[in-house]
Chains A and B, each alone.
Chain A
């Protein structure tokens, strides 16, 4: 583990110096108060949303009647759209659409898991991580695009 010291092990004198220099603050009460304020704020937002926009409850499930437009919840839309795109790959053979569609989901999760092991560049400054930042922004744009596409189609 390079350079970063386990924070707990910093001697108390060192902590006091860091606080005097404004780089750190006491966990209590400063940090705790902040967290409580944030939690109260989130709580108010949630109550407001639940009151003004109560969740919709459709009709009871009927296994003999499929409704017209079945779409998953918004957070599954991007991956749903990938499946639909994969259906266009049937020129590769009848096997292709389904297997590639599901395969892509697996690959995405795999890549996500591997991020820290693929990107071994220790630098954290934006200007020294051009590839990682570009790929990140690209992924976000693609995900938003796929979600909107699925939403409006």
Chain B
């Protein structure tokens, strides 16, 4: 063990003052750094919402009987065109663990590939572990486009 250094007695108040001001300055600097850092790490559009509450999709992009994925408020959603006129839109995020669901055209149901949840075309759970139905959106037609809005 090296011998412990001895410390000349400095004026205590002076040292306390220096240490206190230094600590204050460091805390101010640290606080002034941590807050911007926190904000920097959360990109501005990560909170969802706000940005465009309606999405338009040209009719020509969705074949009759088929489905098309799109982003609604930053999250995957699905537009299903059952027939020429009958169109449904709903969230494509499985309410179980957040996987993106698939549309099975042959059985006319929506399946989740992760843990086998099944939903009907109204978003209702018909099988599997999903606790809640898929959120439905409103679809209207405007000229040659589908307009999807929150229900």
A contacts B: CB pair < 8 Å = yes
Which A residues lie at the B interface, using CB under 8 A?
A: 12, 15-16, 19-20, 26, 29, 33, 36-37, 40, 43
Chain B minimum-CB-distance residue to A44: B29
Q: Determine if B26 and A26 form an interchain contact, defined as CB atoms under 8 angstroms apart.
A: no
Q: Name B26's contact: one of A15, A29, A40 (CB within 8 Å).
A: A40
Contacts of B16 in A (CB 8 A): none
21 CB contacts below 8 A, A to B, read A12-B2, A12-B3, A12-B5, A15-B5, A16-B5, A16-B6, A19-B8, A20-B8, A26-B5, A26-B7, A29-B19, A33-B18, A33-B19, A33-B22, A36-B22, A36-B26, A37-B22, A40-B25, A40-B26, A40-B29, A43-B29
* Alpha-carbon distance between A43 and B36 when the two chains are bound, in angstroms: 15
Which B residues lie at the A interface, using CB under 8 A?
A: 2-3, 5-8, 18-19, 22, 25-26, 29
Contacts of A19 in B (CB 8 A): 8
Contacts of A15 in B (CB 8 A): 5
Contacts of A26 in B (CB 8 A): 5, 7
Whole-angstrom distance between the Cβ of A21 and the nearest chain B Cβ = 12
* Alpha-carbon distance between A12 and B5 when the two chains are bound, in angstroms: 7
Chain A minimum-CB-distance residue to B28: A40
Whole-angstrom distance between the Cβ of A31 and the nearest chain B Cβ = 13
Contacts of B6 in A (CB 8 A): 16
Contacts of A33 in B (CB 8 A): 18-19, 22
